[in-house]
Structure 1
Amino acid sequence: MPHMDVPGGRLYYETEGKSENPALLLIHAGIATLRMWDPLVTPLAEHHFVIRFDTRGFGETGSDDVEFSNCDDALRLLDELGVERATVIGSSRGGQIALDLAVEHADRVAGLVTIGSGPSGFPEVELSEAEDELFDTMDSTWEARDWPAHMDAEVRLWAVGPLRDPGDIDPDFLETARTLNRFNISKIDENPVPRALEPPAFDRVVDIDVPALVVVGEYDITPALMQFEYLAEQIPGADSMRLDDTAHLPSVERPGAFLTVLEPWLSRHDL
């Protein structure tokens, strides 16, 4: 199992495909690990060098309780693998990291794909009543330190979404979402502190000059939907897509549908 030493930690990563092919860097959501990309890696690796890693506080990466930069970790991994530029594909929190990379290290980013993501520094958005209730459940389970219940509450909010009934969701997808999130219980007592980008990406996305694809699930929460609209309008020339019948994890819930959009987009932009 490949690990790479970074200041105050050890990143777990995986690669697939030929290293001479165009590189894709996949950054997972905050309720998952690099395993969320499993259904996509093999088809993408036919024509790409696919790189994915567990960020600090998640999966099989280990970290001391230190301040660190998610961008620096990603760049160190690219350096380790001899990759000068990559198309960065990030889901949720991973998409925010991808946006930070695109505005702060434009020379290393060949293309950008965000899934249910917003830029760092995005203003707070008022939640719906249903969303407020789901967040309250997450808060109460966190305070009780009931980690399985807390992570199931996260899945209810993010993977199901406030407008859908769990009984209407594919049970295999729900089990996958629970498994992805519960793997991170072992990291609860790790407290690495991510250093915020200054200035944040919010006012800087207008300067992104690489191909960009902005994706959101139809039933995602209000802030994610508003962030999607903002990115689609503010990133010059950005393509955008709402994936039907999904919430915050569209690439996990409907990987085939996601690939039917992603692969032609990559080809069209020679990425």
Structure 2
Amino acid sequence: MSDTQRVQTGFAAVNGTTLYYEVAGAGHPFILIHGHLLDRRSWDDQFAVFAQRYRVIRYDQRGFGDSGLITKGESYSDRQDLYDLMHFLGIESAYLMGVSGGGALAIDFTLEHPEMVDALIPVTAGVSGFRPSEEMMKQHPDVVRLYANLNEAFEQHDIARAVEISLQLWTDGPGRLPGQAEPDVRERVRQMTTRNWERPDGEAQAQTPPVPLEPPAIGRLSEISVPTLVILGAWDGPNPLEQLTAEIPGAKKVIMAETAHHPFLEKPAEFNQIVLDFLESLKP
């Protein structure tokens, strides 16, 4: 990384916890939000590339990576954490990209603080308030089975088994056989997921979700008015945004072939170009 891309690191004290963050580059702020299997390092293939054009911020959410612990039963808001981190870093508004649970956070944050988001990029993201229908579950019995096995592994406190099931469910994806994702991608996700679930607050994290957005995003996507790019993986499990993207005014959708829940890890060069082309198209 060149001198102009030197990484600034630190801890922001927000809402009774500390958030570890890294900042590189100059230009319009661009915040990367990791998924709930991962941590900030999942953006290793994007961070330096995007920092050549933007001021890029990545951070560990509360309960992940090097950020502070979650206390069982203690109320907190991941949207407020992000809001206060942006103020800590002097950021009035930014491009926002999040994957999976981090994508759901990005969507919720955009609905709660539209003035602080200049563009939204949800990647294989969830949608708060979404509940799969019985018909959807009947159409995807393998996914239902893997979720049941994952819950069983957690109940038995078998972290190694839970991690392997999560790799089959999301990193391989139901569109591939178990273990078919690239070994290096599986190993990167395995290390991050294992570290998260072995943290002292791993159980508290599972039992103490953040305060939800009310009303949730599922009935409010039409309120999103910022430029939006939805990125999905062709081999991922069923994702509500595959159909719901049309509810976001003017949103674009890209489905990346031969990828599952982590297209930015599986095909980083292609993913990065898709994102950069979208952001460049926003310039006057």
Task: Tell me the residue number matched to 1:240.
Answer: 253
After superposing on structure 2, the runs of 4+ consecutive aligned residues of structure 1 that deviate more than 6 Å are none
Task: Tell me the residue number matched to 1:53.
Answer: 59
Task: Tell me the residue number matched to 1:256.
Answer: 269
When normalised by structure 2's length, the TM-score is 0.90
Aligned ranges 1:66-215 → 2 under 5 Å: 66-125=74-133, 126-127=136-137, 128-184=140-196, 185-186=198-199, 187-191=201-205, 192-215=208-231
Tell me if 1:2 matches 2:27. no
> Any conservation in 2 of the 1:3–1:11 contact (CA below 8 Å)?
yes
Q: CA deviation at 1:123?
A: 2.9
Structure 1 residue matching 2:64: 3-state secondary structure: coil
Percent identical among aligned pairs is 32
In structure 2, what is the Cα distance between the partners aligned to 1:141 and 1:270? 48
Q: CA deviation at 1:166?
A: 3.2
Task: Tell me the residue number matched to 1:25.
Answer: 31
**Which residue identity does 2:95 align to in structure 1?**
T
**1:159/1:120 Cα in 2 relative to 1: closer, same or farther (>3 Å)?**
same
Deviates more, 1:123-132 or 1:85-94: 123-132
Task: Tell me the residue number matched to 2:278.
Answer: 265
Given the alignment, which residue of 213, 230, 241 partners 1:227?
241
> Any conservation in 2 of the 1:8–1:64 contact (CA below 8 Å)?
no
Deviates more, 1:42-51 or 1:192-201: 192-201
Number of aligned residues:
266
Unaligned runs of 5+ in 1: none
Q: CA deviation at 1:227?
A: 2.6
**1:46/1:204 Cα in 2 relative to 1: closer, same or farther (>3 Å)?**
same
> Any conservation in 2 of the 1:215–1:228 contact (CA below 8 Å)?
no
When normalised by structure 1's length, the TM-score is 0.94
Unaligned runs of 5+ in 2: 1-8
Deviates more, 1:86-95 or 1:136-145: 136-145
RMSD (Å) for aligned C-alpha atoms: 1.5
In structure 1, what is the Cα distance between the partners aligned to 2:267 and 2:166? 19
